[in-house]
């Protein structure tokens, strides 16, 4: 089990990252189920780090940029399962992380983003350059290999990996609202959440015990449990 949960402000998380980031590039992973708030936390952390450093030293490298394209997913009849672990270009993601680690700070490394409005990746949506702190966030950062997809290679490329948790009812409500905002009827949204999102959430939950930190979002702060030393290996 992870340690006790302790309420921490965002500044505590900022300090943890900045204390660990040394020379070269520091890669922090933020894993967690769909709708847990990973993108929200990553953006808040990036902005707080950059504000404290008075410069753009941190940037986000979303796992979502490596969604396989809809044409390919249609051709392989996996479009209805979009978001599951085998609907991502995992080799591309691992190569991108490796490139961020090995490319000297100051040289460009393009990274794809994901545009929800067109439901597709945007190649080179971000270009890393002088940023020495990378926040990479997504569902499957702590997953074992899945079929032919080599997710287990991700963790070795990260300096630390956190897990952002949220109650199942909270996740369900947030994802329902998001699908309805995206144009789904309430019934279609409910089907999507039950058939896909919550299944993915259950799979992701099996990886929580591998995280260095487990976080739960509260209004304006986070409850944080630190894994005991040596714990993250399992």
Ligand X SMILES: Nc1ncnc2c1ncn2[C@@H]1O[C@H](COP(=O)(O)OP(=O)(O)OP(=O)(O)O)[C@@H](O)[C@H]1O
Let me know: does 127 contact 111? Beta carbons within 8 Å: yes
Q: How far is the CB of 28 from ligand X (least distance, A)?
A: 15
Q: How far is the CB of 39 from Mg ion (least distance, A)?
A: 3
As given in the structure block, the two tokens for residue 132 are 């020495």
Please identify the residue of the shown chain whose CB is closest to the bound Mg ion. 39
Binding characters for ligand X, 77-106, by CB under 6 A (x = yes): ------------------------------
Pick out residues in 162-181 that bind ligand X (CB under 6 A): 174
Near ligand X by CB under 6 A, which window of 28-36, 67-75, 84-92, 124-132? 28-36
When the beta carbons of 8 and 101 are compared against ligand X, the nearer one is 8
Among 11, 40, 51, 102, binds ligand X (CB under 6 A): 40
| Exposure string for 175-210, b = 16+ CB within 10 A, e = fewer | bbebbeeeebeeeebbebbeebbbebbebbeebbeb
7 - beta bridge partners? 223
Of 105, 103, 199, 94, which Cα lies nearest the Cα of 153?
94
Q: Which residues contact 92 (CB under 8 A, 6 or more apart)?
A: 66
Greatest alpha-carbon span in the chain? 51
Near ligand X by CB under 6 A, which window of 37-45, 95-103, 128-136, 144-152? 37-45
Residue 121 DSSP one-character state = E
Q: How far is the CB of 133 from ligand X (least distance, A)?
A: 19
Pick out residues in 35-64 that bind Mg ion (CB under 5 A): 39
- Residues lying near ligand X in the complex (CB under 6 A): 32, 34-40, 139, 174, 217
């Amino acid at each position: 089990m992870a340690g006790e949960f302790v309420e921490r402000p965002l500044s505590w998380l900022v300090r943890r990252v900045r204390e660990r980031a040394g020379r070269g590039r520091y890669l922090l992973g933020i894993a967690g189920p769909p709708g847990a708030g990973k993108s929200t936390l990553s953006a808040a952390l990036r902005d707080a780090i950059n504000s404290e450093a008075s410069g753009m030293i941190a940037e986000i490298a979303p796992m979502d940029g490596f969604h396989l394209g809809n044409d390919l997913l249609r051709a392989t009849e996996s479009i209805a399962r979009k978001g599951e672990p085998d609907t991502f270009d995992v080799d591309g993601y691992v190569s991108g992380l490796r490139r961020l680690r090995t490319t000297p700070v100051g040289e460009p490394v393009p990274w794809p983003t994901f545009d929800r409005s067109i439901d597709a990746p945007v190649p080179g949506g971000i270009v890393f350059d002088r940023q020495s702190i990378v926040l990479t966030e997504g569902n499957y950062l702590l997953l074992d290999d899945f079929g032919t997809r080599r997710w287990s290679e991700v963790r070795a490329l990260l300096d630390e990996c956190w897990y952002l948790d949220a109650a199942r009812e909270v996740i369900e409500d947030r994802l329902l609202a998001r699908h309805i905002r995206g144009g789904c009827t309430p019934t279609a949204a409910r089907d999507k959440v039950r058939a896909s999102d919550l299944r993915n959430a259950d799979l992701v939950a099996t990886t929580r015990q591998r995280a260095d930190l487990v976080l739960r979002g509260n209004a304006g702060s986070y409850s944080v449990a630190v894994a005991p030393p040596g714990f993250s290996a399992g």
